[in-house]
Amino acid sequence: MGQNIQWYPGHMAKAFRLMRENLSLVDIVFELVDARIPMSSRNPEVDKLIEKKPRLLVMTKADLADPKETAAWKAHFEKKGLAVAVLDTRGPKTAQYITKAAKDVLADKLEAQEAKGIKDRPIRVMLAGIPNVGKSTLLNHLVQKNVAITANKPGVTKKVAWLKTSTGLQILDSPGVLWPKFEDQKIGQRLALTGAVKDTIFAKDDAALNLLAFFRDYNQKAIIDRYHLNDDAFDLSDVDLLLAITAKLGFKDDYEKAAIRMLNDLRSGKLGRYTLDREYD
Ligand SMILES: Nc1nc2c(ncn2[C@@H]2O[C@H](COP(=O)(O)OP(=O)(O)OP(=O)(O)O)[C@@H](O)[C@H]2O)c(=O)[nH]1
């Protein structure tokens, strides 16, 4: 994985096909979404793709998101019938927590297996999500000892690699990469602010102006404190505010440099916890 991917219809069709092929091999899909953008980081096609396969919606990066909003989103998804796990992926209890959540989703199936005398069969999992949502981090965290086991994929000679967790899961070595919804401008802006899409697609100063517009409604104090501005700084327009911050940072009139600093501050949590998606559809 690594670099963010630019999506074209051909890429999308291929990613879709790869996921669909592997779907029959697993018991459950972990659909990862970024807790700061639980709607914007979801793929519109995912319901159609996963269909009736058991699913756990995993909200990653919860340590960066606003806890009140995360709770509201969790309740919203649960109301729609989805099982939800909320994570700081790097937390010490991740493996136990996520395993229990998966077992809860599969409770009926596991009970039926037990009635037939099948015990301790591993639960096979596919991770799926848009770039940068935390798929590799979760995988690495779950699989502490890198024990890869391979098995023949039915019907094809290609081997499938499974990674074992200490908690009885087997995770498909290659996560499903889903594409975000670039078409909607508002969603594109939020993907850019959280770093989910390549920086080069967006003008940094536009992104910084979006950031300021968001904090104008959300939390002016976070900006005022971080950049040592006057209490009435938000009387300025977003553009003048960006210039004021540029000057405060000592960058003279290089507002692009200031914009980069602000985006880094936002993404690393230096402007506090925040959730950009706040309308529940
Ligand atoms: N703060 C925080 N950072 C996280 C969390 N999960 C992942 N990250 C960070 O997010 C970045 C992206 O994580 P990856 O695991 O590479 O994401 P990915 O989905 O595999 O990304 P692609 O390879 O682009 O598909 C990394 O810098 C991680 O350290 C989390 O729960 N909290």
Q: How far apart are the first and last CA of the chain?
A: 30
Helix axes 238-248, 204-218, angle to 10 degrees: 100
156 pLDDT band, cuts 50/70/90, is very low
Distance CA 232, CA 220 (A): 10
Decide: 267 in ligand 1 pocket, CB within 6 A.
no
Question: Does 94 belong to an annotated binding site?
Answer: no
* Domains, the chain, ordered by start: 9-177 (3.40.50.300), 203-267 (no CATH)
The token pair that represents 193 in the structure block: 């602010």
Q: Please give the DSSP secondary-structure letter assigned to residue 178.
A: P
Ligand 1 center to 2 CA (angstroms)? 10
Chain segment 215-256, per-residue pLDDT in tens: 999 999 999 999 999 999 999 999 999 999 999 999 999 999
Q: Is the pLDDT of residue 3 over 90?
A: no
Chain segment 187-220, per-residue pLDDT in tens: 888 998 998 877 766 789 999 999 999 999 999 9
